[in-house]
Amino acid sequence: MYFIANWKMYGDLKTLNSLDKVIKFSKDNRKNKFKIVYCPPNTLIRPLSKRLIKTKIEVGAQNCHESENSGAHTGQVNSKMLRNVGAKYVILGHSENRQIGETDSLINSKIKSSIKSGLKIIFCIGETLKERRSKKTNQTLSLQIKKGLKSIKNKSNIIIAYEPVWSIGTGLIPKSEDLIKSIKFIKKKFGKKSPKILYGGSVNNISISQLKKISVIDGFLIGGASQDSKKFIDIIKKTYI
């Protein structure tokens, strides 16, 4: 079971002190087979990876440039650079980035370069509210998978995060039966070699009571609630209660 913390544009060096509670919790609960991954802003990847060096908690990035090589890309960071400072995962295709211009083709290039750099991919897919109301959820998911993973044969380092766009940051989550249908549809697209499927979108210490009952979910991509160590720990605890 994965618990991936997407800190988005949040945190500074002082914020890292709050992780001592999570580190202790992780060490005290090693019997439960869950994996914690923190994806902070790029500015915190190196200091966070150093802080977690003697733990089983891993570090990821929130995005990267598609180029494998250095170049004239002001303000950009590629997958090799992220790997070099301690990242082992990278979130790609998040709807917040799709909404500012990332296309399926661009995401595909980022996934390819990240795999070559040795990063594990958290590949986000999800439909908008308009697409859901038009009953185009499966069509949207199918297209995002097809284009985003085009020409990628080895998918062993890819995790899928199903994040309905309309659910992110709204406090709304899909009905259990709808969520089960969507995740089963995604798994069916991959056949017997389906990757782990996570759910993201308004995951918090309240909604987890409903979400944990859905056995087809392999973990959670958690946004705002992961910025608070107590809430993040509560989510993990309640998953196993």
Q: What is the DSSP string of 97-129?
A: HHTTT--HHHHHHHHHHHHHTTPEEEEEE---H
Task: Let me know if 127 is a catalytic residue.
Answer: no
Supply the Cα-derived Rg of the chain in whole angstroms: 17
**Angstrom distances, CA of residue 49 to CA of 20, 59, 141, 228:** 13, 6, 33, 19
Q: b/e for 81-109, b at 16 or more Cβ within 10 A? A: bbbebbbebbbbbbbbbbeeebebebbbb
Has 65 been annotated as catalytic? no
| Catalytic site residue from 94, 96, 127, 131 | 94
Tell me if 56 sits within 8 A of 26, measured CB to CB. Answer: yes
Cα of 118 vs its chain's centroid, Å: 17
Tell me which of 58, 96, 102, 163 is the catalytic residue.
163
Residues 6 or more apart whose Cβ sits within 8 Å of residue 165:
95, 99, 126, 127, 128, 129
Element (H, E) at 161: strand 158-162
d(CA 114, CA 61): 11
User: Among all residues, which ones are annotated catalytic?
Assistant: 94, 163
